[in-house]
């Protein structure tokens, strides 16, 4: 897109750590309706850059992708920055939190003029058509806005029944791994059949008429992949579906049609792809078939390593199933990512111990970097409603949090957050760095690049194993210190905690140094021995 004298209709702003397929789908749909839109990636601290884009494109409407309530303050600062600079465009917001808490969103963000609820393609297009006629807004399904000092909620818009009726998402230049392999995010379905208590997917789509899960046709998905491969040389596809391999007869038939289409186009041998799924979706026969058709990586929604946690999270799986699924992926040699909540509202010092046993069992071999977090009470989820009813949620709506049923666990979370946040979440921390290096090596091996040797992968596994073992040792030591010495003693005698934190941070630093040395060698070898990736199919 290039700047013109004519203002664009919409400037859409959101996080793009991975491609924001929601916003990109809206951009594509608006373009088919003769409406112009520009996508602006945003991270906190980039308010000045967004303002420059707004000044350049002079949009009639600015839409903010405000997924969860924990981003309200960040987007609020951005909106205030734009308004203070004189940006007079109509401000609207969409995403999970605005959809499920539209009144609250408008109250928390006074700069907003409206909220777009649930799916945004049709609703935003209609809002743009009637933007200058607010007397017609009440006829637009799926929005919320202020009128005469009250908030108006219009009836929800039915979900898009046929996903194939939507255009392929708008794409710009494909991203690529350091090894040169180009990658793109994909979406083959919307919605989920399950109702995990912590997840807002079911509630996000459930507020509008339509089925719980909808799928694109296998042919449409493969056609989009083929176009990206032929015209942009994309070789790796990351499916962002919430449950790509749902265990239903319909989805099993879909998967085999999808694999047949990959084979017929020649893509099965030329590309690799990643999916996200539940642990009970997997079996040996299906994995073998998918791997034969390009599957290279799987992200598993494990979430907990103890039975009490799995019940509270309503996962409807067992610890044994979680273990078996991880081991099955290892047996197939697939790259593994794992969602895991070390802490949830049911946590006790005993269940924390069980979670650490689980992490050690699946992570000590260094096959993949383990990561862990606290369950967040997202607005509109079943667990949020339960915690609110029990009086356990504290703080403002945009940052509501819960405490545990024991002071020891509260202190444990406090200490884990202080010591291990950088390791788990920083862009230069162990987890992100090791995951990136592991992905690079595996993808390079998949496409025959000579530098990605067995020795390279073994060296990475050694470093990943060291990082995993170090983190688990630190987590166990914190738990033991609280149980043995008690809270009061640790508060008064902090030397042991300081020593433990310094040991963790020193270990992380040493791993980062070793990874950097390994990566420098990898980069040198890649430059001098990179192969071509092969011809495109006829």
Beta-strand ranges (E) seen in 15-131 are 37-41, 61-65, 90-94, 114-116
In a domain, 163, yes or no: no
| pLDDT tens, position by position, 331-352 | 999 999 999 999 999 999 999 9
Query: CA-CA-CA-CA torsion for 176, 177, 180, 186, nearest 10 degrees?
Result: -50
At 145 the three-state DSSP class reads strand
Q: Give first-to-last CA distance, the chain, whole Å.
A: 31
| pLDDT tens, position by position, 369-406 | 999 999 999 999 999 999 999 999 998 888 889 999 99
Give the pLDDT score at 532: 43
| Domain end position, chosen among 153, 187, 205 | 153
Average pLDDT over residues 260-267: 98
Considering the domain architecture, whether residues 182 and 66 belong to the same structural domain is answered as: no
For residues 453 and 446, the answer to whether their CB atoms sit within 8 Å is no
Considering the domain architecture, whether residues 142 and 257 belong to the same structural domain is answered as: no
Considering the domain architecture, whether residues 146 and 248 belong to the same structural domain is answered as: no
- Report residue 492's pLDDT band, with 50, 70 and 90 as the boundaries: confident
Considering the domain architecture, whether residues 106 and 234 belong to the same structural domain is answered as: no
How far apart are alpha carbons 137 and 151 in whole angstroms?
A: 12
How far apart are alpha carbons 275 and 288 in whole angstroms?
A: 14
What CATH number does the domain containing 474 carry?
3.80.30.20
Considering the domain architecture, whether residues 137 and 284 belong to the same structural domain is answered as: no
In a domain, 230, yes or no: yes
Considering the domain architecture, whether residues 431 and 520 belong to the same structural domain is answered as: yes
In a domain, 20, yes or no: yes
Considering the domain architecture, whether residues 350 and 258 belong to the same structural domain is answered as: yes
Considering the domain architecture, whether residues 277 and 189 belong to the same structural domain is answered as: yes
Sign of the C-alpha dihedral, residues 210, 11, 133, 73?
positive
In a domain, 250, yes or no: yes
In a domain, 357, yes or no: yes
| Domain end position, chosen among 107, 122, 153 | 153
- Report residue 488's pLDDT band, with 50, 70 and 90 as the boundaries: confident
For residues 54 and 86, the answer to whether their CB atoms sit within 8 Å is no
* Token pair listed for 3: 């700047």
Q: In what helix (H) or strand (E) does residue 303 lie, and over which residues does it extend?
A: strand 295-303
Residue 537 clears pLDDT 80, i.e. is over it: no
For residues 378 and 313, the answer to whether their CB atoms sit within 8 Å is no
| pLDDT tens, position by position, 75-88 | 999 999 999 999 99
Considering the domain architecture, whether residues 140 and 199 belong to the same structural domain is answered as: no
Question: For the chain, what is the domain count?
Answer: 2
Give the pLDDT score at 219: 98
In a domain, 253, yes or no: yes
| pLDDT tens, position by position, 295-312 | 999 999 999 999 999 999
| Domain end position, chosen among 120, 153, 186 | 153
Query: Residues with Cβ < 8 Å from 283, sequence gap 6 or more?
Result: none
Residue showing tokens 């688990």: 472
* Token pair listed for 284: 């040996």
In a domain, 162, yes or no: no
In a domain, 332, yes or no: yes
How far apart are alpha carbons 287 and 331 in whole angstroms?
A: 10
Residue 533 clears pLDDT 80, i.e. is over it: no
How far apart are alpha carbons 237 and 183 in whole angstroms?
A: 6
DSSP 45-60: T-HHHHHHHHHHH--S
Considering the domain architecture, whether residues 210 and 250 belong to the same structural domain is answered as: yes
Share of the chain above pLDDT 90, in %: 89
Beta-strand ranges (E) seen in 383-519 are 393-394, 401-402
Considering the domain architecture, whether residues 187 and 121 belong to the same structural domain is answered as: no
What CATH number does the domain containing 71 carry?
3.40.50.280
* Lowest-pLDDT range of 41-50, 160-169, 520-529: 520-529
Considering the domain architecture, whether residues 212 and 292 belong to the same structural domain is answered as: yes
* Containing structural domain, residue 131: 10-153
């Amino acid at each position: 897109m290039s700047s013109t004298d004519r203002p664009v209709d919409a400037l859409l702003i959101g996080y793009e750590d991975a491609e924001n397929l929601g916003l990109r789908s809206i951009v594509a749909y608006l373009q088919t309706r003769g409406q112009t839109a520009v996508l602006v990636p945003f991270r906190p601290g980039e308010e000045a850059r967004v303002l420059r884009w707004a000044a350049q494109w002079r949009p009639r409407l600015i839409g903010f992708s405000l997924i969860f309530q924990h981003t309200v303050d960040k987007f609020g600062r951005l909106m205030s920055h734009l308004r203070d600079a004189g940006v007079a465009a109509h401000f609207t917001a969409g995403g999970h939190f605005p959809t499920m808490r539209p009144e609250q969103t408008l109250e928390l963000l006074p700069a907003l003029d409206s909220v777009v609820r649930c799916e945004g393609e049709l609703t935003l297009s209609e809002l743009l058509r009637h933007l200058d006629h607010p007397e017609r807004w009440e006829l637009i399904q799926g929005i919320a806005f202020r009128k005469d000092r009250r908030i108006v909620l219009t009836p929800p818009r039915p979900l898009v029944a046929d996903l194939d009726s939507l255009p392929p998402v708008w794409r710009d230049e494909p991203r690529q791994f350091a090894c040169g392999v180009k990658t793109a995010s994909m979406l083959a379905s919307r919605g989920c059949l399950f109702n995990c208590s912590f997840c807002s997917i079911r509630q996000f789509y459930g507020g509008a008429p339509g089925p719980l899960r909808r799928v694109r046709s296998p042919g449409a998905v493969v056609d989009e992949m083929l176009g990206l491969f032929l015209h942009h040389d994309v070789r790796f596809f990351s499916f962002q579906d919430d449950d790509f391999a749902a265990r239903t007869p319909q989805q099993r038939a879909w998967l085999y049609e999808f694999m047949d289409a990959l084979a017929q186009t020649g893509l099965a041998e030329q590309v690799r792809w990643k999916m996200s799924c539940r642990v009970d979706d997997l079996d040996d026969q299906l994995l073998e078939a998918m791997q034969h058709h390009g599957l290279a990586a799987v992200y598993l929604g494990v979430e907990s390593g103890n039975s009490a946690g799995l019940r509270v999270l309503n996962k409807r799986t067992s610890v044994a199933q979680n273990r078996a699924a991880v081991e099955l992926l290892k047996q197939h040699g697939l790259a593994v990512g794992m969602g895991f909540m070390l802490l949830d509202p049911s946590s006790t010092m005993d269940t924390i111990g069980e979670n650490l046993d689980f992490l050690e069992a699946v992570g000590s071999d260094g096959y993949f970097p383990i990561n862990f977090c606290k369950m967040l009470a997202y607005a509109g989820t079943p667990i949020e409603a339960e915690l609110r009813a029990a009086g356990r949620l504290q703080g403002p709506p945009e940052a509501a949090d819960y405490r545990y049923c024991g002071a020891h666990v509260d202190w444990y979370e406090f200490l884990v957050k202080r010591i291990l946040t950088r390791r788990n979440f920083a862009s230069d921390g162990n987890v992100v760095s090791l995951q990136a290096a592991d992905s690079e090596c595996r993808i390079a091996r998949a496409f025959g690049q000579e530098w990605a040797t067995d020795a390279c992968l073994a060296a990475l596994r050694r470093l990943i194993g060291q990082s995993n073992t170090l983190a688990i040792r630190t987590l166990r030591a914190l738990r033991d210190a609280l149980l043995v010495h008690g809270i009061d003693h640790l508060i008064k005698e902090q030397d042991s905690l300081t020593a433990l934190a310094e040991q963790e941070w020193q270990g992380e630093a040493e791993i980062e140094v070793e990874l950097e040395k390994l990566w420098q060698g990898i980069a040198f070898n890649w430059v001098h021995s990179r192969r071509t990736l092969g011809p495109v199919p006829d």
